[in-house]
């Protein structure tokens, strides 16, 4: 069972201590993003953000270069991840708190990348920007230019699954909505369906109506069945972003941290010979 909560919760009037409840420096990462308008998130950041927050762009900081064999949001190399987080002001002693203004998927991507690098002091703001505003938090405008950080890497290779490993996995879980999983609709990628043998657990099932995580007990009751094979599941989605939300939910539930197939569906279908399944 996990001994620490990976979420920063504002429930119960916790705003008063928000900026001093963690020892050492804090770096807020504003991860707001819109897949349909890739500049919109940064624009909203400039209009107002948590004081001291720096902007982490999904395409520019949290993804690598797309290629003919990659998915839509491939991971940067380890050296690139380290350099980019350092440019965002993250050091080894920094507590990082990521947030966005949708369903915490983009913030979860930043959280997962730092966990992969071995950074232990990283959390996600539960409920994101809306929760912060509702709590009456102060707002700062403009761009924050942080001093370069110095981040040590202790790579957690076991958290990442490569495409060559997918066929041998005992429990692979598709994080997309059920209609996309079944192949009934596909609004983004060129091929509809799912990886044969994968289960489906829509990442938004983790959220309550106010777009905060459900309680650890409720999450555990939903997610622990995915561990029935005796090992932690591997999650994927369309491009390796929303699957990070399911990984985070397992951490919130106190379950063993799952693995991530970061290339996900958009990488899988790059090779026409790879099989595709449809239906439930």
Q: Catalytic residue numbers? A: 237
Q: How far is C-alpha 193 from the chain's CA centre?
A: 22
Alpha helices in the chain (DSSP H): 40-47, 78-87, 105-116, 128-134, 178-182, 216-223, 243-252, 264-268
196, 168 contact by CB (below 8 A): no
Using CA atoms, how far apart are residues 195 and 275, in angstroms rounded to an integer?
A: 7
Using CA atoms, how far apart are residues 63 and 248, in angstroms rounded to an integer?
A: 18
Burial class (CB in 10 A: 0-12, 13-18, 19+), 47: exposed
């Amino acid at each position: 069972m996990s001994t620490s909560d990976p979420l920063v919760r504002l429930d119960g009037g916790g705003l008063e201590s928000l900026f001093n409840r963690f020892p050492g420096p804090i770096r807020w990462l504003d991860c707001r993003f819109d897949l349909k308008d890739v500049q919109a998130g940064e624009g909203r950041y400039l209009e107002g953000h948590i004081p001291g927050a720096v902007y982490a762009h999904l395409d520019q900081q949290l993804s690598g270069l797309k290629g003919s064999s990659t998915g839509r949001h491939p991971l940067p190399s380890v050296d690139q991840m380290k350099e980019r987080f350092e440019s965002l002001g993250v050091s080894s002693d920094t507590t990082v708190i990521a947030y966005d203004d949708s369903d915490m998927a983009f913030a979860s991507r930043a959280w997962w990348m730092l966990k992969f690098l071995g950074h232990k002091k990283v959390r996600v703001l539960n409920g994101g920007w809306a929760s912060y505003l509702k709590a009456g938090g102060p707002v700062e405008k403009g761009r924050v230019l942080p001093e370069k950080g110095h981040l040590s890497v202790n790579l957690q290779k076991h958290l990442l699954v490569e495409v060559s490993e997918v066929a041998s996995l005992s429990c692979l879980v598709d994080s997309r909505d059920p209609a996309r999983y079944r192949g009934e609709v596909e609004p983004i990628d060129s091929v509809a369906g799912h990886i044969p043998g994968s289960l489906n657990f829509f990442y938004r099932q983790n959220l309550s109506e106010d777009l905060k995580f459900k309680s650890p007990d409720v999450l555990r009751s939903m997610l622990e069945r995915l561990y029935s094979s005796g090992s932690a599941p591997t999650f994927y989605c369309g491009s390796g972003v929303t699957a990070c939300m399911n990984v985070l939910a397992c951490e919130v539930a106190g379950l063993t941290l799952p693995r991530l197939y970061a290339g996900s569906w958009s990488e899988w279908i790059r090779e026409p010979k790879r099989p595709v399944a449809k239906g439930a």
